[in-house]
Structures are given as structure tokens and as C-alpha cells.
Amino acid sequence: MIYINNYEYSYEFIQNITKSFLDIGGYLLIPILKSSKNFDDIFKKLTHDFQIIQELNIEAYFRNTSLLVCKYKK
């Protein structure tokens, strides 16, 4: 399982981390700012390599943020 605790990342960064440290069937937890310009872009790209298990609304704790729970499928 990998938890990324950084809002300043690119999809290429996610791919590099995943290929280096995550086995097939492993989980990725990643917070995404809903107001971010690249929210839809990253969400769509994640579906190529990951099965999106759940999108958690964590706005009660972190304003305008969702936490994605993803399972690595490649």
C-alpha cells in the first residue's frame, strides 16, 4: 500500500512510484483537491492503471479534498 501525502504531484510521479514500489493488486491512497485544474485529468488517467475502489469525501477534515482508494491492476 502506498499513501501519497502531497497535493503537488503529476501523473508521471504516480506512475514512477507505482512501478517502483507497488505490486499488482496493491493499493494506492491519494488525496486530490477537487478545485484543482487537473482533478478530472488525474482521475481519468488513474483508471488506466488502477481500479478506483472508492472516492471518499474528507471535506470535514480537509477543505475541498477527496481521498481516492485505488487498486493497481497492471
- Apex 71 CA angle, 26 and 34, nearest 5: 125
The residues, any chain, with a CB within 8 Å of residue 44's CB and separated by 6 or more, are: none
Question: What pLDDT band is residue 53 in, cutting at 50, 70 and 90?
Answer: very high
User: Distance between CA 35 and CA 26 in Å, rounded?
Assistant: 28
User: Distance between CA 8 and CA 18 in Å, rounded?
Assistant: 16
Q: Is the full-model pTM beyond 0.85?
A: no
User: Distance between CA 59 and CA 69 in Å, rounded?
Assistant: 16
Question: What pLDDT band is residue 38 in, cutting at 50, 70 and 90?
Answer: confident
CATH superfamily of 2-72: Vaccinia Virus protein VP39 (3.40.50.150)
Domain boundaries, the chain: 2-72
